[in-house]
Amino acid sequence: MNPISRIVVIGLGYVGLPLAIGLAKRYSVTGFDLDRGRVDELNSGTDRTGEIAAADLKSAKLTATTDPAAIVGADVYIITVPTPVDEANRPDLGAVTAASRTVGKAIRKGAIVVLESTVYPGVTEEIVGPEIAKASGLESGRDFFIGYSPERINPGDKTHTVARITKVVAGQTETVAKALGEMYGSLNGGNIFIARNIRTAEAAKVIENAQRDINIAFINEVTMIFNKMGLSIHDVLAAARTKWNFLPFTPGLVGGHCISVDPYYLAEAATRLRHHPEVILAGRRINDGMASYVAAQVARAIAVRKPGPADVLVLGLAFKENVPDLRNTKVIDVIREIESLGHRVDVHDPVVDPAESQHEYGQTVLGSMPSGKRYDAIILAVAHEAFVKLPDIGLANIGQPGAVVYDVKGLWREAKMPGGFLYLTL
Ligand SMILES: NC(=O)c1ccc[n+]([C@@H]2O[C@H](COP(=O)([O-])OP(=O)(O)OC[C@H]3O[C@@H](n4cnc5c(N)ncnc54)[C@H](O)[C@@H]3O)[C@@H](O)[C@H]2O)c1
């Protein structure tokens, strides 16, 4: 095994970029990505994901490239490429396989390859290792070594950064795990947990996210029950949360690249072993159904106030607050359902890239608050910082008298609504 001095990070997205920049403080790091636009943007000092500030990006000793020749012969390769699901919610490991082949062509004897993408137990050993072996002609465990280290960062979260969270690490052998532990420990002052083996580390990551999904699904389910009882989930949670061991989850749309996807990886692995995952899939069903539920609630409230088609303003399109990330946003499903009922929808989000929205969803996004138009209904879909004070500073100017305000996040529960507005929360 080579001593670690040169590292290549494959995939420079939300996960790969902060990792590459952190490691570049101590090691010689090259970032490789297939997307030329992304590489050009990073080399010119911009990170559109908003994870790394321009000054930090410019001062980082990171070289980004699309050239496979530039990544030959590194000591460690770290793969941080997407792991989405296909239309049938089955794992799509195409990017992991392709990245493994890229590594296979560049790797030399003595190197270690670490997968960071979220997967089900077995992917590193059954797919990554063999793909590299095939492309390189080298033998896994003798000529090169594999490891897995799940990524836990959270888009937009400036508290739980790579420098501050415990990093779980696993290696093909104890020596590999120890070497990786030292490398990752340079990022966070040695805050490393060495997992028993690679599959255990893969399993740990996938249940971290499946557990969140299931907990949110439970809160979403009781939200629907309490709505029928005329109770507000937010009032119920405020009371229940005073118990020391009540888990503080809140209701909402569950989108994004992780929580709404990763449980399907575990479900697929279970199904292959002829175990039908009841709880995991029930959680997915409930959370996937929330967009329809919100749309139906809004439509019902509109119908009470105004017969016929209404003008609806949706505030926020990102999958979560204060990030430009549009991947798997469920707000788009809410919009499509409301439109299918004959209503007209405008969308305002000051954080996302309107061009990306147009490209991904064919959805026009207004970067600034529409002026001169008054809406019959306003849906607060994402709790962006920019919307917190809206009831005090402008909500009255964008709603028709008697407008419906549907607050998916409960952000404005304590705010004073303009007179005559009908305020509802999820
Ligand atoms: N986003 C998160 O906060 C987060 C947190 C924890 C774990 N994860 C996991 O980390 C992995 C990466 O997620 P992400 O959010 O960084 O994705 P991303 O889409 O932001 O970035 C992935 C990058 O990989 C590049 N890429 C795709 N295929 C490639 C290939 N074959 N070779 C080289 N580059 C390639 C893409 O162009 C893109 O720039 C996923 O498995 C995800 O589940 C993500």
Q: Is 145 in the pocket of ligand 1 (CB under 6 A)?
A: no
Residues 174, 251 within the same domain: no
Residues designated as active site: 258
Burial of 158 (0-12, 13-18, 19+ CB in 10 A): exposed
Please name every residue paired with 77 in a beta bridge, in sequence order, or none if there are none. 8, 113
Q: Is 65 in the pocket of ligand 1 (CB under 6 A)?
A: no
Residues 154, 226 within the same domain: no
**Biggest alpha carbon–alpha carbon distance for the chain:** 73
Q: Is 95 in the pocket of ligand 1 (CB under 6 A)?
A: yes
Residues 275, 349 within the same domain: no
Identify whether the C-beta of residue 150 lies closer than 8 Å to the C-beta of residue 202.
Answer: yes
- Helices 16-23 & 174-188 angle (0-180, nearest 10): 90
Token couple for 126:
């059954």
Identify whether the C-beta of residue 355 lies closer than 8 Å to the C-beta of residue 323.
Answer: no
Return the ligand 1 atom nearest residue 35 CA.
37
What separation in Å is there between the alpha carbon of 178 and the centre of ligand 1?
25
**Does residue 1 fall inside a structural domain?**
no
Task: Give the pLDDT confidence score for residue 157 in this predicted structure.
Answer: 85
Task: Give the pLDDT confidence score for residue 406 in this predicted structure.
Answer: 98
pTM: 0.95
**Does residue 175 fall inside a structural domain?**
yes
Low-confidence ranges of the chain (pLDDT < 70): none
Q: State the residue range of the domain holding 133.
A: 6-197
Residues 309, 360 within the same domain: yes
Strands 145-148 and 167-171: antiparallel
**What is the CATH classification number for the domain harbouring 334?**
3.40.50.720
Give the C-alpha separation, 415 to 409, whole Å: 13
CA 319 to chain CA mean position, Å:
8
CA 282 to chain CA mean position, Å:
21
φ and ψ at 144, to 5 degrees?
-145, 165
What separation in Å is there between the alpha carbon of 14 and the centre of ligand 1?
7
Residue 211 has a CB neighbour count (10 Å cut-off) of 15
Give the domain-ending residue among 132, 167, 197: 197
What separation in Å is there between the alpha carbon of 124 and the centre of ligand 1?
16
Nearest residue to 262 via CA among 13, 93, 91, 79: 91
Give the C-alpha separation, 384 to 20, whole Å: 28
Give the domain-ending residue among 287, 309, 325: 287
Half-sphere exposure of 85 (CA within 13 A, CB side): 20
Q: Provide the 8-state DSSP code for 124.
A: I
Amino acid at 120: Y
Residues 192, 64 within the same domain: yes
Contacts of 313 (CB under 8 A, 6+ apart): 345, 346, 347, 348, 370, 375, 377, 378, 379, 398
The residue nearest atom 41 of ligand 1, judged by CA position, is: 117
Residues 399, 258 within the same domain: no
What separation in Å is there between the alpha carbon of 346 and the centre of ligand 1?
30
Residues 52, 162 within the same domain: yes
Give the C-alpha separation, 23 to 88, whole Å: 37
**Does residue 396 fall inside a structural domain?**
yes
Residues 117, 58 within the same domain: yes
Residues 248, 397 within the same domain: no
Q: Is 155 in the pocket of ligand 1 (CB under 6 A)?
A: yes
The residue nearest atom 39 of ligand 1, judged by CA position, is: 13
Task: Give the pLDDT confidence score for residue 324 in this predicted structure.
Answer: 95
Q: Is 82 in the pocket of ligand 1 (CB under 6 A)?
A: yes
Token couple for 362:
């064919």
Task: Give the pLDDT confidence score for residue 82 in this predicted structure.
Answer: 97
Return the ligand 1 atom nearest residue 17 CA.
16
Q: Provide the 8-state DSSP code for 418.
A: P
Return the ligand 1 atom nearest residue 96 CA.
31
Q: Is 153 in the pocket of ligand 1 (CB under 6 A)?
A: yes
Q: Is 18 in the pocket of ligand 1 (CB under 6 A)?
A: no
Residues 306, 421 within the same domain: yes
Residues 234, 99 within the same domain: no
**Does residue 114 fall inside a structural domain?**
yes
Identify whether the C-beta of residue 425 lies closer than 8 Å to the C-beta of residue 413.
Answer: yes
What separation in Å is there between the alpha carbon of 40 and the centre of ligand 1?
17
Return the ligand 1 atom nearest residue 155 CA.
3
Domain count, the chain: 3
Identify whether the C-beta of residue 331 lies closer than 8 Å to the C-beta of residue 253.
Answer: yes
Q: Is 81 in the pocket of ligand 1 (CB under 6 A)?
A: yes
Task: Give the pLDDT confidence score for residue 154 in this predicted structure.
Answer: 86
C-alpha distances out from residue 230 to 11, 125, 236, 316, 425, Å: 48, 52, 11, 27, 12
Question: Which residue reads 């740990």 in tokens?
Answer: 204
**What is the CATH classification number for the domain harbouring 212?**
1.10.1040.10
Q: Is 83 in the pocket of ligand 1 (CB under 6 A)?
A: yes
Residues 173, 245 within the same domain: no
Give the C-alpha separation, 179 to 47, whole Å: 30
What separation in Å is there between the alpha carbon of 96 and the centre of ligand 1?
10
Strands 311-315 and 375-380: parallel
Task: Give the pLDDT confidence score for residue 155 in this predicted structure.
Answer: 80
For the chain, how many helices (H) and strands (E)?
Answer: 16, 13
Task: Give the pLDDT confidence score for residue 306 in this predicted structure.
Answer: 87
How big, in percent rounded to 5, are the helix, strand and coil portions of the chain? 40, 15, 45
Give the domain-ending residue among 257, 287, 317: 287
Return the ligand 1 atom nearest residue 154 CA.
3
Task: Give the pLDDT confidence score for residue 280 in this predicted structure.
Answer: 98
**Does residue 218 fall inside a structural domain?**
yes
Task: Give the pLDDT confidence score for residue 177 in this predicted structure.
Answer: 98
What separation in Å is there between the alpha carbon of 184 and the centre of ligand 1?
18
Give the C-alpha separation, 350 to 104, whole Å: 42
Give the C-alpha separation, 311 to 346, whole Å: 8
